[in-house]
Structure 1
Amino acid sequence: MPTTNPLTDLLAEKGVLLADGATGTNLFAAGLEAGEAPELWNEAHPERITKLHQDFVDAGADIILTNTFGGTRHRLKLHHAQDRVFDLNKRAAEIAKAVADSAGRKVIVAGSVGPTGELLIPLGALSYENAVEAFVEQMEGLKAGGVDVAWIETMSAVDEIRAAAEAATKVGLPYTYTGSFDTAGKTMMGLNPKDIHSVAGDIGSGPEAVGANCGVGASDILSSLLDMTEAAPDAITIVKGNCGIPEFRGSEIYYSGTPPLMAEYARLARDAGAKIIGGCCGTSCEHLAAMRVALDDYTPRPRPTIEEIVDKIGPLRNKTASESGGDSGRERRRRRG
């Protein structure tokens, strides 16, 4: 059983928590150039990172994620910064911690840990041991900067999730993890949403929460959420979906989600059993503020069906996991709904 920590304490107090919105999208709006590493801004433009965290706290976020998604040596090597892993992660954590500490209420600082970008043996050259080592290096910086939890996110491969979970345990941080179910309702490496709970349950004291983030559109991630909460109704499940559906307009990516749509997404996520609800790509502070109001004014409704989600949020862009070779969960939901 997971031990007590700031995240589980706040969950026990509030029941449902609002996580923040997009990091990358909002930093691009603040001047980040395509191909530039957001993590370098922790030292080059700390005031812009502070402003992003502050804006999310002002919008009502209970959890803010550090600007460290690409903070492993493998990602930073692309920017010749692989020798600065500890310092960049520590600085990011310190920036977020300072904002959280001045919030006037409890705000959780989650250390964002994204995939290395490498494939593990046998598909690629990265060994499991080296993956653990890289995640330990990153998490030591995050812990030194004061994060409350290691937030392992946007993962595709089971062994990479396990390596990151093992690193968190070695460093002494509680951890959560989320998959990105962006390939016919599963992760790129074939993980089914209903199987997310068991991926790393045997590592350390187990995850504090698991779930889904990013992926395709908001309807698709809610479909994944239904599978996850049906498989383990009592688990603490995270959903952090993209703001509507991403579309290219010329060379720019545009997200279709409006604040009212993201408010409805938040209500549906809560109806579907999520305990930690936030936004991913495209989610601005304006969207998050609407989600805060939706959760604060929440009136329980029946568990939604896929059809209700599509009706309220828009069409699915992917097959569901059950359609692409999973179980018959969708059919069961339809009959029950």
Structure 2
Amino acid sequence: MTNPIDALLAEKGVLLADGATGTNLFGMGLASGEAPELWNEDAPEKIVALHQNFVDAGADIILTNSFGGTRHRLKLHNAQDRVFELNRKAAEIARSVADNAGRKVIVAGSVGPTGELLQPLGALTYDDAVAAFKEQIEGLKAGGAEIAWIETMSAPEEAKAAAEAAIAIGLPYTYTFSFDTAGRSMMGLAPKHVHGVADGLSQPAVAVGANCGVGASDILASLLDMTEANPDAKVIVKGNCGIPEFRGTEIHYSGTPELMSDYVRLAVDAGAKIIGGCCGTSFEHLAAMRKSLDAHQRQARPTVEAIVERIGPLRNKTADQSGAVQGGEGRRRRRA
């Protein structure tokens, strides 16, 4: 399996991934509860604009509009029989933008959680999860995705099932967890243990890390744990744009371009190799992040205290302040 990330890292040192899918599509008219994946066929020009704006802002990696592209998610919209075509179209749209960028832009096939509980907590078997992810990743590969970008995971076994599916289809893969519950994933995974999730599979991950979660400070604290646990690993951090705040019925994010620029500098200093934005991260934010990344020379590794001083307080405990989280497993609908 070819690995586009290593090749581009060798050239650039640190890569910039794109920003929010959901937030920006909502700004283009996506209705609450509507499946973004359906826009791959119903409004492809808007998905083209999403990717083009991120490429214009300087993204080295763009994620396909396929986060909820498994049969389990699509059945909520009576589209479970369209998995292959919707994912293929998602990758084809992103591929068309990347191919016209005039520079190397990696097309990563976004693979989010199924929304189902795996046994013994729920009815979904590990083998059925692998099959569902294979179905999705087959479409992504057919459309031109170069890597399976497994993201916003909570349960290690589900992430491993998606990784096994990527290997079976013949795509290299990355995976990221959302450490949004007292510094851990909702199913209790600590950031320092993220490196072992795919142990036992025939191919290792190209990169691992964190996305979404709560605020930028919290994900940087998780990053410190991940890079301390394995300083040689290629670690991804794709944090939310500041803190989500309700204003009436709408969610706004507190992060300014200046804050996200400082987040990039801190992420580089903490050892991240791939840095992007998640919920709330606009094209303007990403352009500021690109400028910050290009100008920054790596400095001393920050402490949690330094992160808090520069970009604001933690919203949660850190993982070493909390025990393993027990209880049911929740799912984010998508990257917002």
Unaligned runs of 5+ in 1: 327-337
TM superposition shift of 1:204: 2.5
TM superposition shift of 1:11: 1.1
> Any conservation in 1 of the 2:237–2:267 contact (CA below 8 Å)?
yes
> Any conservation in 2 of the 1:201–1:207 contact (CA below 8 Å)?
no
Deviations 1:178-206 (A, max 9, x none): 00000000000000000000110332320
> Any conservation in 1 of the 2:223–2:272 contact (CA below 8 Å)?
yes
> Any conservation in 2 of the 1:211–1:239 contact (CA below 8 Å)?
yes
Please tell me whether residue 269 in structure 1 is matched to residue 267 in structure 2. Answer: yes
SS of 1:234 mapped into structure 2: coil
User: Could you say if the C-alpha distance between residues 235 and 5 of structure 1 is closer, same or farther in structure 2, counting changes exceeding 3 Å?
Assistant: same
| Matching residue of 1:45 | 43
> Any conservation in 2 of the 1:179–1:213 contact (CA below 8 Å)?
yes
SS of 2:320 mapped into structure 1: coil
SS of 2:223 mapped into structure 1: helix
Q: 298-307 or 82-91, which moves further after superposition?
A: 298-307
TM superposition shift of 1:13: 1.2
| Matching residue of 2:12 | 14
SS of 1:288 mapped into structure 2: helix
TM superposition shift of 1:247: 0.9
TM superposition shift of 1:252: 0.5
Normalization by structure 1: what TM-score? 0.95
TM superposition shift of 1:79: 0.1
TM superposition shift of 1:6: 1.4
* Aligned sequence identity (%): 75
| Matching residue of 1:322 | 320
Normalization by structure 2: what TM-score? 0.95
Please tell me the residue identity of whatever aligns with 1:325. Answer: G
Structure 1: how far apart are the matches of 2:205 and 2:296? 27
SS of 1:238 mapped into structure 2: strand
2:117 to 116, 119, 127: 119
SS of 1:322 mapped into structure 2: helix
- Superposed counterparts of 1:231-310, under 5 Å: 231-310=229-308
> Any conservation in 1 of the 2:54–2:62 contact (CA below 8 Å)?
yes
Runs of 4+ deviating beyond 4 Å: none
Structure 1: how far apart are the matches of 2:9 and 2:297? 19
TM superposition shift of 1:7: 1.6
TM superposition shift of 1:325: 3.0
| Matching residue of 2:21 | 23
Please tell me the residue identity of whatever aligns with 1:174. Answer: P
Count of aligned residue pairs for this structure pair: 324
Structure 2: how far apart are the matches of 1:106 and 1:202? 32
Structure 2: how far apart are the matches of 1:307 and 1:160? 33
- Superposed counterparts of 1:175-186, under 5 Å: 175-186=173-184
